[in-house]
Amino acid sequence: MIVLRKSGSKVYCYNAKNAWMRIYADTNLAKCFHYARVVKGKWSLGVKGQKRKTELDVLAVGADWADHTSNTAERQKLTLS
């Protein structure tokens, strides 16, 4: 999954080191992937450093250890007020 934050015209991703990294045209988005295990049909990912009045986009795609991916991607927009 990838977690994105938009602040004004700047876009950031939550990288594997649990820090926000600004995205540029040449940014390697592989640094932004997070893997979440599914337990009893649910998954969770803690995200730190969310600022008020910004939106979070969480993009998730299902995959297994054999690299089979789902045909659909889920996107959820969250706002901290």
* Structural domain span for residue 75: 2-79
In the structure, what pLDDT confidence band is assigned to residue 2 with cuts at 50, 70 and 90?
A: confident
In the structure, what pLDDT confidence band is assigned to residue 13 with cuts at 50, 70 and 90?
A: very high
Residue matched to tokens 């080191």: 17
Structural domain count of the chain: 1
Q: Torsion-angle region of residue 3: left (phi > 0), alpha (psi -120 to 50) or beta?
A: beta
Q: What is the mean pLDDT of residues 39-53?
A: 81
Q: How far apart are CA 68 and CA 6, in angstroms?
A: 30
* pLDDT surpassing 60 at residue 8: yes
